[in-house]
Amino acid sequence: MKQPEGELARALFEAIGPQRHLGVQLYVSVRGRPVFDLAAGRRDDGTALDPDDLLVWFSAGKPLVAAAVCRLWQDGLIDLDEPVATYLPAFAAGGKAAITTRHLLTHSGGRMSAPGPPGSGIADPFAVDYEPAIGLALAAELHPEDRPGEQPSYSASVLTWLVLSQLVRHHTGARFDDVVAETIGRPLGMETHYGFTKSELRELGNRVCTFVAPRTGLYLNDADAREGAAIREVLAGGTFHRTIDPGAGLWASARSLGRFYELLCARAVGGSWAPADGILDERTVAEMIKPQRPSFFEEAPLIDFGLGLTLETRRLGPQYAYFGSSCSFATFGHQGHGAPMAFADPRHDLVVSFNGNGLPGRVLGKRIWQRISDAVYEELGLTLPDEPAHDGGPRPVPRRRLDLRPPSARADHGDAPTGAATPRRFE
């Protein structure tokens, strides 16, 4: 297995430290062959982070549940454009009768709210009590000003993915996490968890990333800081490890997410190196990675969605680069709060999966993984495709070297020389 050098080694080195991560994982493959499968840094208990350790992926785990739903469509069990209430009649309550499965998968169903007292199922977006929460999601009310398909609604994704998970159970008779593990994870050699029992936590030990040590983040706006504080509180309290949350509660390694994207990438290009048959066919993956809605501004970025997948928006201009400034326009994947990022670039048969065990904040976290993404392309000698930009002509995107460390990090970790590889080995 290769060791990272040059800019990639520096990018990983600088992802570890104050206001960043204690440890990180990186998995990279080309045509299904691993190039990097590594971990660097430490766990909460001070021992070395391992490539097999289980990290939480927050929203970056959404595509797995989306894939389980798309399998229902592949098998002829659902129509993506049929109202969800056709299959789950209780969902028609609260003005939601016209919302379809496609609306839910593309975050365009409209803003939904399901307020409830403490203990009712959803204490906050990162504290979901699964079974009670299902009832709240089905009974949620659509915002009176919203019309399905006419506005972005990522803010409702906790409720949305609860409903999608119930759609899976309605048609399979099994809970979504079991369906994901048995029909997607196991054939691909993935280890996936949505919450842990106490016995599982004892058995897995320090392979499960904990957040016992204090985490600090560099938050660039009040909303980011509030969300970060809420996540830190839930994680530090130890309750999130037991949360069964289909939209934000996947625990897995970077390698496991990488194997999922290897399947999607191979299907996207008709590659014979697809890791397993019978999971998702080429027609289904083509539908998943096709732009499904207008490019809406969600919070800050301009985002295109497929079915449960984020699509690269650099084609709209270099300022909208999402996964990195070197990714082709065909790139698709998903990111999670602050740290996780996994994507496939079919133009290069490339898969990149990165996660860490810190909470650097949404904006800084994105800068960290975009820099790692660009460094991967540079390390592998992959060039920017000659693609038509939004104005009809090719537009190369210059790389920028971002030193993301605060001044204190230089004292703690040393300053990496600009022109040489960081003297650090990643195991």
Per the model's pLDDT, the better-predicted residue between 54 and 125 turns out to be: 54
What confidence tier does 36 reach under pLDDT thresholds 50, 70, 90? very high
With cut-offs at 50, 70 and 90, classify the pLDDT of residue 427.
very low
Third-level CATH fold of 7-380: Beta-lactamase (3.40.710)
Q: What is the average pLDDT across 268-291?
A: 92
DSSP assignment of 256-290:
HHHHHHHHHHHHHHT-TT-S-SSSS-HHHHHHHTS
Query: What are the extents of the domains in the chain?
Result: 7-380
**pLDDT attached to residue 193:** 96
* CA proximity to 253, closest of 57, 60, 13: 57
pLDDT in tens, 124-154: 555 668 888 899 999 999 999 999 988 888 8
For 333, the 3-state DSSP assignment is: strand
At 318-372, the pLDDT tens digits run: 888 889 999 999 999 999 987 799 999 999 999 999 999 988 887 788 889 999 9
The predicted structure's pLDDT at residue 153: 86
Mean per-residue pLDDT for 271-276?
A: 83
* pLDDT, position 321: 87
pLDDT at 395 over 60: no
Residue 407 has pLDDT above 80, yes or no: no
pLDDT tens, 159-210?
Answer: 999 999 999 999 999 999 999 999 999 999 999 999 898 899 899 999 998 8
Which pLDDT score is estimated for 47?
Answer: 95
CB atoms under 10 Å from CB of 198, counted, come to: 9
Answer whether residue 392 shows pLDDT above 50.
Answer: no
Residue 181 near residue 189, CB atoms below 8 Å: no
Tell me the pLDDT band of 399, cut-offs 50, 70 and 90. very low
How far apart (Å, rounded) are the C-alpha atoms in residues 42 and 50?
8
CB-based burial, 213-224: b 16+ in 10 Å, e otherwise: eebebbbeeeeb
pLDDT (0 to 100) of residue 267: 96
pLDDT, averaged across the chain? 84
Dihedral (CA of 208, 262, 303, 106) sign: negative
Helix or strand (DSSP H, E) at 251: strand 250-252
Token pair recorded at residue 57 = 């992926």
Average pLDDT, stretch 33-48? 95
pLDDT at 24 over 70: yes
Query: What is d(CA 213, CA 397) in angstroms, rounded to the nearest whole number?
Result: 39
CA 421 to the chain's CA centroid = 29
Highest mean pLDDT: which range of 13-22, 109-118, 211-220, 394-403: 13-22
> Alpha-carbon distance 155 to 132, whole Å?
20
